[in-house]
């Protein structure tokens, strides 16, 4: 067996007299099973690091790891030794954190993944506030893992995040080729977090090939996105046709979808920049309609 899914009883269930007991609960798992796994899904809302060390400490061959926190806050002692030493997952290529609440992203302090290719963080939509930080734990995890040469895909879903925090996170990802932002809640348009360019500086995400902006608000203002697209595929018009500054740029695909709302049309797919990139720039563009209910 190389694939395994484990769901542990909730820390609020009858399995524990008190939720704090989950911090010290034993988790007897066969070492030889863990060593054979290439795909491991773990659904657990326990506190502390003991369960993580027991479940992941022998996962030397795991390539795809999913940890589902079941929408519960992960509490831990800041003095726990594992936060300093870390768990090395030497073959991990895809890491998915699901049903995360804001500060639970600190679990990345426990992990090291030197071969990581894809990082997917999916937040629980019932926990929506701005009083937390994404950039520090994520960028520290990348620094500690030293996965700069391998990490290429980042997916962030349903996070409620400050503009400056998302901007700081994306500035630390110049090597990304695929970015997904889905259902993001921000105090300003999130695309502005990495569109800003001053005095000829290179745009954020210079190696980006695919951008997925999913579940946009219907009132999404497209101008910053259009500036971002043109920054990645700069051109000027001559006799009504575009001349690209860098015809061989890596950016090749844009996907945009919108949340359901009352009847309203979107203007993005009628913009000059989008049509130039589709017709002459070799960029595959898929922009969904703004869906509505009467």
Indicate if 133 and 279 belong to the same structural domain.
no
Which pLDDT value is given to residue 200?
A: 40
Indicate if 143 and 185 belong to the same structural domain.
no
pTM passes above 0.85 = yes
Indicate if 181 and 128 belong to the same structural domain.
no
Indicate if 98 and 229 belong to the same structural domain.
no
Indicate if 115 and 15 belong to the same structural domain.
yes
Which pLDDT value is given to residue 293?
A: 56
d(CA 52, CA 63): 16
Which of 151, 183, 208 is a domain's end point?
A: 151
Which pLDDT value is given to residue 143?
A: 96
Indicate if 120 and 264 belong to the same structural domain.
no
Structural domain for 247, as ranges: 175-294
Which pLDDT value is given to residue 17?
A: 87
d(CA 90, CA 143): 15
Q: Is residue 162 part of a domain?
A: no
Q: Considering its fold, how many domains does the chain have in total?
A: 2
With CA atoms as reference, report the closest residue to 159 among 215, 108, 226.
215
Indicate if 113 and 257 belong to the same structural domain.
no
Q: Is residue 240 part of a domain?
A: yes
Q: Is residue 144 part of a domain?
A: yes
Indicate if 93 and 194 belong to the same structural domain.
no
Q: Is residue 67 part of a domain?
A: yes
Q: Is residue 156 part of a domain?
A: no
Which pLDDT value is given to residue 187?
A: 61
Q: Is residue 90 part of a domain?
A: yes
d(CA 215, CA 265): 15
Which pLDDT value is given to residue 112?
A: 97
Indicate if 202 and 140 belong to the same structural domain.
no
d(CA 282, CA 206): 17
Which pLDDT value is given to residue 175?
A: 94
Q: Is residue 198 part of a domain?
A: yes
**pLDDT averaged over consecutive 10-residue blocks of the chain (294 residues)?**
95 89 89 96 95 94 98 88 88 98 92 98 84 92 96 96 88 93 76 49 76 88 84 87 81 90 69 88 84 57
Indicate if 55 and 20 belong to the same structural domain.
yes
Q: Is residue 130 part of a domain?
A: yes
HEC string for the chain: CCEEEEECCCCCCCCCCCHHHHHHCCCCCCHHHHHHCCEEEEECCCCCCHHHHHHHCCCCCCCEEEEECCCCCCCCCCCCCHHHHCEECCCCCEEEEEEECHHHHHHHHHEECCCCCEEEEEECCCCCCCCCCCHHHHHHHHHHHCCCCCCCEEEEECCECCHHHHHHHHHCCCCCCEEEEECCECCCCHHHHCCCCCCCCCCCCCCCCEEEEEEECCCCCCHHHHHHHHHHCCEEEECCEEEECCCCCCCCEEEEEECCECCCCCCHHHCHHHHHHHHCCCCEEEECCCCECC
Which pLDDT value is given to residue 110?
A: 94
Indicate if 209 and 282 belong to the same structural domain.
yes
């Amino acid at each position: 067996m190389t694939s395994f899914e484990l769901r542990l009883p909730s820390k609020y269930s009858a399995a524990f007299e008190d939720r704090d007991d989950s911090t010290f609960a034993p988790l007897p798992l066969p070492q030889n099973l863990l060593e054979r796994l290439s795909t491991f899904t773990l659904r657990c809302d326990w506190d502390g690091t003991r369960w993580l060390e027991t479940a992941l400490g022998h996962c030397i061959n795991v390539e795809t790891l999913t940890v589902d926190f079941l929408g519960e806050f992960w509490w831990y002692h800041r003095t726990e030794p594992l936060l300093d030493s870390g768990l090395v997952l030497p073959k991990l290529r895809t890491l998915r954190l699901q049903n995360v609440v804001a500060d639970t992203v600190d679990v990345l302090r426990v992990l090291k993944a030197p071969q990581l290719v894809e990082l997917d963080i999916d937040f629980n939509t019932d926990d929506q506030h701005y009083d937390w930080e994404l950039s520090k734990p994520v960028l520290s995890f990348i620094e500690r893992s030293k996965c700069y040469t391998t990490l290429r895909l980042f997916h962030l879903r349903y996070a409620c995040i400050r503009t400056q925090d998302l901007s700081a996170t994306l500035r630390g990802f110049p090597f990304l080729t695929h970015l997904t932002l889905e259902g993001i809640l921000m105090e300003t348009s999130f695309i502005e977090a990495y569109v800003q360019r001053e005095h000829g500086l290179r745009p954020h995400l210079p190696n980006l090939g695919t951008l997925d902006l999913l579940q946009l608000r219907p009132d999404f203002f497209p101008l910053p996105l259009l500036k971002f697209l043109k920054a990645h595929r700069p051109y000027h018009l001559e006799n009504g046709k575009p001349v690209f500054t860098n015809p061989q740029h890596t950016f090749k695909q844009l996907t945009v979808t919108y949340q359901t709302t009352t009847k309203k049309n979107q203007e993005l797919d009628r913009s000059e920049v989008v049509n130039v990139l589709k017709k002459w720039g070799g960029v595959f563009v898929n922009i969904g309609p703004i869906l509505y209910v009467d």
